[in-house]
Amino acid sequence: MIDVVVFFFLLGLFARLVRSELKLPEALYETLSIYLLLAIGLKGGIELSKQPLATLAPEVAALAAMGFLIPVGLYPLLRLLRLSGVDAAALGAHYGSVSVVTFAVAQTALARANLPLEAQAPLWVAVLEAPGLLAGILLARLSAARDASGPPRWGELAHDVLFGKSVLLLVGGIVIGAVAGEAGTAPIKAVFIDPFKGVLALFLLELGLVAGGRLGDVRRFGFAVLLVGIGAPLLLSGVGAATGLLLGLGTGGVAMLATLAASASYIAAPTAMRIAVPQANAALSITAALGITFPFNIVIGIPLYIELARRLHP
């Protein structure tokens, strides 16, 4: 049985496809995304406070490498589809980075499937945010001989990612959860833990609306974008699962890494690419990431990746 939060996504998608004027206020969208990041972080932090801290260094290193290598690996494949160099680089960056909402949906799917997930999983999201963007920008620089906009401002970029909303709230939540622990966070449970799935449902309604708005562009970019939007996550889920097995994660962890690898960033990546690689076609990337890959993962991909993890992980 499909998870109830996915129905909200489908409702949003439907609303947009029938051209409904339904629209969530922008402030609500921003509030929901702040909430989700904090809540995911907090929950992870509380779990971490209950157990001896695993040595995270190998995980962090492996995931950073994975995030960086995804755009590098996708680049030649995307070029085969006749994408320009900068477009291939920018699109790759979206897949090297991750989608927090996809993480949240996978988390609830794992809970429903009774597959335990490593406590530090929210940290993975934080680690995976940046390396893919970095690789994408480097690839774009290498592919574009001359560039009107001058050398990238690396310092600024690093700052924007590290102290950007996502990483800051995720890591902030983790630290608060870990320091305050289960008892210390009990008084805020009624806001940050209990309503989590309901809030996720609302957020998916909004994302259905936004993703639906992108579907119209699929026709414009044709078959290539469809191929990328479905092919890339399928391919990358294998990469993620392999990384998870290598790191010795449990079934839940393997499924989650498969999901994260397969997910494409539709917030951090578009913003970063717009500034650092303005020549790239932003609409193309966002159509693939948000119009195709995101719905695919939410509705079809996640159950698939869980199944994959189960098979790979006896």
Q: Which residues bind its own copies (CB under 8 A)?
A: 1, 4-5, 7-8, 11, 14-15, 18-22, 24-28, 30-31, 34-35, 38, 108, 159-160, 163-165, 168-169, 172, 175-176, 179-180, 184-185, 187-192, 194-195, 197-199, 201-202, 205
In the complex with its own copies, the residue whose CB is nearer, 37 or 139, is 37
Q: Minimum Å distance from CB 274 to its own copies? A: 14
Q: Residue 227's closest CA among 182, 293, 290, 271?
A: 293
Q: Minimum Å distance from CB 273 to other proteins? A: 9
Residues that bind other proteins (CB under 8 A): 148-149, 210, 214, 266-267, 270-271, 274-275, 278-279, 282-283, 285-286, 290
Can you tell me the distance from the alpha carbon of 239 to that of 114, in angstroms, rounded to the nearest whole number? 24
| Cβ-based neighbours of 168, under 8 Å, separated by 6 or more | 162
The listed partner (other proteins, its own copies, Na ion, none) that binds 275, CB under 5 to 8 Å by sort, is other proteins
Separation in Å, CA 277 to CA 55, 79, 125: 36, 17, 23
Can you tell me the distance from the alpha carbon of 313 to that of 258, in angstroms, rounded to the nearest whole number? 13
Residues that bind Na ion (CB under 5 A): 95, 98, 263
The listed partner (its own copies, Na ion, other proteins, none) that binds 159, CB under 5 to 8 Å by sort, is its own copies
Q: Minimum Å distance from CB 276 to other proteins? A: 10
Length of the chain: 314
Give 98-147 as a DSSP string: --HHHHHHHHHHHHHTT----TTHHHHHHHHHTHHHHHHHHHHHHH-S--
In the complex with Na ion, the residue whose CB is nearer, 98 or 121, is 98
